[in-house]
Chains A and B, each alone.
Chain A
Amino acid sequence: MSPDFLLFLIIALVAVAAALGMLFSRSALYAALFLITNFGAVAVLYLLLNAPFLAVVQVSVYAGAIMVLFLFVIMLLGAERLGREPEAAAMRWQRPLAIVLAVVLIVQAVYVFATRASAVPAVAQAIDAGPLNIGKTLINSYLLPFEVIAIVLLAAMIGAVVLTRDK
């Protein structure tokens, strides 16, 4: 077992444990903290895949900015104290749907893992995930999705500005 693999195992365990913790914790704030831990662990996984740029972006965007906003909202609304009540009757259909979706996801994941597991390290070695390359790929091969996302985000931004404007 190489030290890399050992590291991967530990980090993966942390990531999975944090994800489970997020799902099962009763307090919204703890759930958010677990999610941050999970993001951190995933960032380390990126590092293991020789993609420091992605790792850093993962931390600064997800763990740094987005989760701060989440925490902000949770604290502002006092939402960490909610969630004690039994789930409302109107939400009955959620459970079966969630189970079906989960099964689909697991089957898919197992299939991908079983058929392609050996390919992953090779891919990681081959790709240069530096900022330059990612930028080039975004602008060259994925220009259309990139622009579409830009427009969607712009629309969201303008929407937020309009909504918060004083009359």
Chain B
Amino acid sequence: MNPILEALVKSVGILVVALAGFAYMTWVERKFISRLQARIGPNRAGPFGLLQPVADGIKLIFKESITPANADVLVYFLAPVVAVIPALVLFAVIPFGSDPAFQLASNINVGALYVMAVLGVGIYGMILAGWSSNNKYALLGGLRASAQVISYELGLGLAVLSVIMMASSASLNDIVAYQQPGNILGWLIFRQPVAAVIFAITALAELARAPFDLVEAEQELTAGFMTEYGGMKFALFYMSEYVKMIGMSALFVTFFLGGWSGPFVNEAPVLSLVYFAIKVLACLLVMVWVRATLPRFRYDKLMGFGWKVLLPVGLVNVVVTALLIVAGVPGYK
């Protein structure tokens, strides 16, 4: 097949899966968190509330499109788009399965760095939305978002760096291959537990999800940077959040849970897709579980935690990993 055509087909496929995943992730989250709180959750629209995302979508489409007075109209309309694109682009390098047919660009040798770059750019949507809405809640939400993301990106980078050092490659394919598909003990979470924990925590912060959802802390900031957004523009922000959640889970799986690996992958490559999906879903459920359990951080504590705990621990982890690799400790080379 023509490579451009092939890439196009795959991109469309990823987009469709990501959007469907977004729609049904909202349902999964609401259902699961309800059960964690001894509630039932959505159950009116369709069996088990399965049509709830459709109903929500229809509702949002028919909402009035409002522009706040004195808003910076161009930036105001651009911000949701700027928020969504990085979330979707993130999927380009993730190896969804063992077969090259299940990958778009997982082979590029800077995959992990690409991820960091995309995540770094992903924050602009929030900042611009906060600034352009001409609303103090939104502005404060945007400011918090930028400060939080800059602080936690460092920890995230250090966690990813440990992984790259272990696999001695920044290509996500190599990282998966390094984790010895077929052997659960090969997963990096067992050899890099500290990096895995740091990655998990900073990923939550990067996603601005509970307990790091200060960006949209209802009690203080109404809806934070989204305060002035409604209808489809709001839906785009919502979409970027959930798509990023899925993307982050996919990255965690790739970095620490052996990616698509699992038994009988060589015999039936389709299984690798299934394993990958199951692992991602497990990560997403853990995220919801965290949201149901932990209260929100106080803002200064959040910054303190990022700079005074995660960053030093991450640095020490990198140094220790380097020492172990150089010393040739079994399992570390």
The chain A residues found within 8 Å of chain B, CB to CB, are 29, 33, 36, 52-53, 56-57, 59-60, 63-65, 68-69, 71-72, 75-76, 80, 130-131
Shortest distance in angstroms between A46's beta carbon and chain B's nearest beta carbon?
11
With CB as the reference atom, state the residue of chain B lying closest to A29.
B131
Name the A residues within 8 Å of B153 (CB-CB).
Answer: 64-65
When the two chains form their complex, are residues A63 and B147 in contact, meaning their CB atoms are under 8 A apart? no
When the two chains form their complex, are residues B120 and A75 in contact, meaning their CB atoms are under 8 A apart? no
For residue B110, CB closer than 8 A to chain A, the reply is yes
Name the A residues within 8 Å of B123 (CB-CB).
Answer: 64, 68
Name the B residues within 8 Å of A68 (CB-CB).
Answer: 120, 123-124, 127, 146, 149-150
Task: Given the known inter-chain contacts A29-B131, A72-B147, A75-B139, please indicate yes or no for A53 contacting B120, CB distance below 8 A.
Answer: no
CA distance A32 to B134 in the complex (A): 18
When the two chains form their complex, are residues A56 and B120 in contact, meaning their CB atoms are under 8 A apart? no
The interface residues of chain B, by DSSP majority, are classed as helix
Name the A residues within 8 Å of B118 (CB-CB).
Answer: 59
Task: Given the known inter-chain contacts A64-B121, A68-B146, please indicate yes or no for A56 contacting B127, CB distance below 8 A.
Answer: no
Contact with A along B110-138 (1 / 0, CB 8 A): 10011011111101100110110000000
Shortest distance in angstroms between B79's beta carbon and chain A's nearest beta carbon?
11
For residue B108, CB closer than 8 A to chain A, the reply is yes
When the two chains form their complex, are residues B147 and A131 in contact, meaning their CB atoms are under 8 A apart? no
When the two chains form their complex, are residues B109 and A56 in contact, meaning their CB atoms are under 8 A apart? no
When the two chains form their complex, are residues B117 and A59 in contact, meaning their CB atoms are under 8 A apart? yes
Name the A residues within 8 Å of B108 (CB-CB).
Answer: 52
Q: Which of A29, A60, A72 is within 8 Å of B117, CB to CB?
A: A60
With CB as the reference atom, state the residue of chain B lying closest to A67.
B124
CA distance A64 to B152 in the complex (A): 13
CA distance A53 to B114 in the complex (A): 8
Name the A residues within 8 Å of B128 (CB-CB).
Answer: 33
When the two chains form their complex, are residues B143 and A52 in contact, meaning their CB atoms are under 8 A apart? no
With CB as the reference atom, state the residue of chain A lying closest to B108.
A52
Name the B residues within 8 Å of A69 (CB-CB).
Answer: 146, 150
Q: Which of A33, A60, A72 is within 8 Å of B116, CB to CB?
A: A60
Shortest distance in angstroms between A20's beta carbon and chain B's nearest beta carbon?
18
The 4 residue pairs across chains A and B that have the minimum distance between CB atoms:
A64-B120, A60-B117, A59-B117, A56-B113
When the two chains form their complex, are residues A131 and B113 in contact, meaning their CB atoms are under 8 A apart? yes
With CB as the reference atom, state the residue of chain B lying closest to A59.
B117
Q: Which of A53, A63, A65, A76 is within 8 Å of B110, CB to CB?
A: A53
Shortest distance in angstroms between A35's beta carbon and chain B's nearest beta carbon?
12
For residue B170, CB closer than 8 A to chain A, the reply is yes
When the two chains form their complex, are residues B114 and A72 in contact, meaning their CB atoms are under 8 A apart? no
CA distance A130 to B110 in the complex (A): 8
CA distance A57 to B139 in the complex (A): 28
When the two chains form their complex, are residues A60 and B146 in contact, meaning their CB atoms are under 8 A apart? no
CA distance A72 to B114 in the complex (A): 23
Task: Given the known inter-chain contacts A75-B131, A75-B139, please indicate yes or no for A131 contacting B109, CB distance below 8 A.
Answer: yes
Name the A residues within 8 Å of B130 (CB-CB).
Answer: 75
Name the B residues within 8 Å of A36 (CB-CB).
Answer: 124
When the two chains form their complex, are residues B117 and A64 in contact, meaning their CB atoms are under 8 A apart? yes
CA distance A69 to B146 in the complex (A): 8
CA distance A151 to B170 in the complex (A): 27
Name the B residues within 8 Å of A57 (CB-CB).
Answer: 113, 117
With CB as the reference atom, state the residue of chain B lying closest to A36.
B124
